[in-house]
Structure 1
Amino acid sequence: MKFGASILALAFSGAAAFQPAAVPRTSETALFSMTPIAGTGASGAGVAPVAGRTMAAPGLVRAAGVPTEQIWDMSQPITVQGGSLKTWSFPSPFVERVQIVMRTDGRPLDANLELWQGPDNTPYKMRVYVEDGMARTFSAVIETPRDEQNTISIRNTAQLEFPLVAGVVSEDVRGGPPLGDRQVSERPSTIQGGALRTYPFNPSVESVQVLLTTDGRPLNARIELLQGPNNIKQVMEVYTEDGMERPFYAVVETPGTGNVVRVVNTASMEFPMTAAVEAFEIGDGRYWSDGVLLGGM
């Protein structure tokens, strides 16, 4: 009996030795080229938290932009008073995209951001509201294709008592494929016109990256950061005339617990869009856990 059992075990082990190794499933679409990464998820639960702050698993950030902390060092931040307008011009045709950061001293941030390309041509518009411009610094990357003069316009729509600080850089984010061709570790989801989708994140995720594209049609979307029921911390309303040539990409700071990113397609049903939302920076989450216990939130 023992001899027969051993022969049977050897037969199964020999058959397993000739089986091909497991190959990760890949998927190719017109917008994305991706290889799913085991152990990663939109909530960041599959990524082991580490001490301090670190980049998340391979995703959109490989060449999509520069970390927010580095932008302030590379750019020359300018204060935009409430009710005033500031512009940044890029006459060079080699500038393919620019990265924009905005913050306040802890007060609300309310601004309109536009891309001007030629006279009376505004192919990209965005309205930004942040409840606390210091805890949640705004950061976005805007494509500037074609050999034309591009101008970034930032208007502080808040009152005079609420200034903001803005920085715009271009040299360190140009080159490489367009944002819509970035490699992502999450399977992008299609959001039909008028529909919405939510993405919850655990406390160890300190920031989230959002990429929205279309098949060349206009993109109209509303991106919200919620922390608790109907508690909106950040809102971005974006319009771009071509969601493939000028996709939407932004990094949303998510300090604290109970963070949920909600993406709403505000266009009609004939204008679907593709969304990829995943963790950007991951920490251990202990700082914010202690803050909740001590009443710091």
Structure 2
Amino acid sequence: MPSINVGAPVGALVDWLTANLGALFHFISTVMLALLDAVLIVLTAPSPYVVIAIFVVLALLERKWGFGLFTLIAFLLIEAMGLWIEAMQTLAVVVVATVFAVAIGIPVGIWAARSRKVSSVVRPILDFMQTLPVFVYLIPAVFFFGIGVVPGVISTLVFAIPPAVRLTELGIRNVDKEVVEAAIAFGAKPRQMLREVQLPLAMPSIMAGVNQTLMLALSMVVIAGLVGAGGLGAVVVRGISTLDVGAGFEGGIAVVFLAIYLDRLTSALARPRRRRPKARTQAPAPATTTETDQPALASS
């Protein structure tokens, strides 16, 4: 067999991109840092107890008192372990990466659902992205953006895109064909049918994709701690490198609490809500006339 060096052209491509698109990567890094700082300020400027109260209120919107109690205990425990800032850093990275992943994934999923050719091109790319080892995502991110939180966000963003694309495409393709044909029969244009028929009916599947994107982003954030992303991932990595079992366990259990909270919250948003029918007051039954109510006829 001839020897084929696949890594050489890839390395040459990375070097060319770094040399010629350095300004673009610097701009992306600046934007990402600004967004992360803005989200982190929102999460850390108030008192931790105020933020915990907001999280509990969000958990109680679905009228699940057990979930609200879990939220209260979990975030109070994170504060008691002294990991509040690290947890908010992780949450900021997850929020920013998820927003960008959803903003990219949902339009691509819609495009793939409306075009078989696009779907046939996108599907193998998604298969490749989902089977690629997670550590491989860190290599180009570090080359392009250096060590820090930005490569962690970029690698998390790329890693979390596939579920948003797949479940958006699946949800739109599974819309009842009779409903689509009825909309076409009533003169609905393609954009109008997408906006008023397909997207509302596919919304549970799309929200399930958002949930899975969020979970993948949270799982990648811990691995991104290896490149200096900070947050709870850095706590876990530090515990592993120093063989500090207690610190590693505290960071891991804080990640679990965040994962459970975000999973339950987004899963509740994915469920279709049913409107309760308004109670109707029954009108009194009309009075029926009987023989005794009718006036007696005078006998002649």
Question: Whose strand proportion is higher, 1 or 2?
Answer: 1
TM-score scaled to structure 2, two decimals?
0.19
TM-score scaled to structure 1, two decimals?
0.19
Question: Whose helix proportion is higher, 1 or 2?
Answer: 2
Which gives a bigger RCO, structure 1 or 2 (Cα 8 Å, sep 6+)?
1
